[in-house]
A and B are shown apart, each in its own frame.
Chain A
Amino acid sequence: DVKVTQSSRYLVKRTGEKVFLECVQDMDHENMFWYRQDPGLGLRLIYFSYDVKMKEKGDIPEGYSVSREKKERFSLILESASTNQTSMYLCASRRRNEQFFGPGTRLTVL
C-alpha cells in the first residue's frame, strides 16, 4: 500500500511566522504535489516536483516555497504566514496516472 504522511493534522501559527509543512511518501515516486483546499474552490496546485531538487510553480505559488532534498520528502514553506493562508493543505505523490494523497494539514494562522 502506498502511504503518504504529513507531519501534522492540525497546526496553529501566528502571522509572520515561518511555517514548514512536511510530506513523506514511501513508494519511491518521482512526482510530488502540494495543494490547498478551500470550501467552494476545490483543490488548487501550489507547487510540484518531478525529481530531487526540481520544482515547478503551480497555479497559486505566491507566498509559498518548497524544498525537495530527498526523493521521499517534499516540504512546503510559508516564509511569513498570513491569515489568508489559513487553509487545508494536501500533499500527494504520483504513480502511473494516479495521485495518492496524504490526510492533510489544517493550518490556522492567527
Chain B
Amino acid sequence: AQSVTQLGSHVSVSEGALVLLRCNYSSSVPPYLFWYVQYPNQGLQLLLKYTSAATLVKGINGFEAEFKKSETSFHLTKPSAHMSDAAEYFCAVERGGSQGNLIFGKGTKLSVKP
C-alpha cells in the first residue's frame, strides 16, 4: 500500500530565506509523485510532478523537488521565499493501477514573514 507523510504541519520562513517542505513516501511500485499548492479559498494547483524521468524536477514559481529513492523522499525547495508563496502545500503519490487516484499527505502550511 502506498502512503505519504509530510513532516511539519506548519513551516515559517523569512522572506528571502530557503523554503524546504519535507515529504516521504511509501510505495511498493515505482511511484509517481506530485506537489500541489492551495492558496486561500482556492482549489489545488499542480506545482510539479515526478513520473520516473529526471530525478530533479522543476516546477512553477521557482520551486523544485528531488526524488531520492534511497531515502524515499520527495522534498520541495525554493531558494528564496516570497510573500506570495504563503499557502498550503500537499505532497501526493499516485495509487498503483488505480485510474490515477492520488493519496495526499496532510499538508504543510507555509508562512512567510516580511
Given contacts A40-B9, A48-B101, A97-B49, contact A90 B44 (CB under 8 A): yes
Residue among B9, B100, B106, B107 making CB contact with A94, cutoff 8 Å: B100
- Is the pair A41, B32 in contact by a Cβ cutoff of 8 Å? no
- From 59 to 110 in chain A, residues with beta carbon under 8 angstroms from any chain B beta carbon are 90, 92, 94, 97-104
Interface membership of A24, Cβ < 8 A: no
> Does A27 interact with chain B (Cβ within 8 Å)?
no
Interface hits, B26-64 → A, CB 8 Å = 32, 36, 41-46, 49, 51
Q: Which of A35, A98, A104 contacts B42 (CB 8 A)?
A: A104
Q: How large is the interface on B (under 10, 10 to 19, 20 to 34, 35 or more residues)?
A: 20 to 34
Interface residues on A, range: 20 to 34
B102: interface (CB < 8 Å) = yes
Assess the B101–A33 pair: CB atoms within 8 A: yes
Interface string of A20-51 (1 = CB under 8 A from B): 00000000000101010000111111001010
Set of chain A residues within 8 Å of B94, measured between Cβ atoms: 97
Pick the contact of A43: B46, B49, B104 (CB < 8 A).
Answer: B104
Partner of B43, one of A42, A44, A45, A90: A90
Within the assembled complex, what's the spacing in Å between the Cα atoms of A33 and B98? 12
- List the B side residues contacting A48 at CB < 8 Å: 99, 101
**A42, B46: Cβ atoms closer than 8 Å:** no
Cross-chain contact B101 with A45 (CB below 8 angstroms):
yes
Contacts of B9 in A (CB 8 A): 40
Known contacts A4-B43, A35-B104, A104-B43; 17 further A-B pairs (Cβ under 8 A): A40-B9, A42-B90, A42-B104, A42-B107, A45-B101, A45-B102, A48-B101, A58-B101, A90-B44, A92-B43, A94-B100, A97-B51, A98-B49, A99-B44, A99-B100, A99-B102, A101-B43
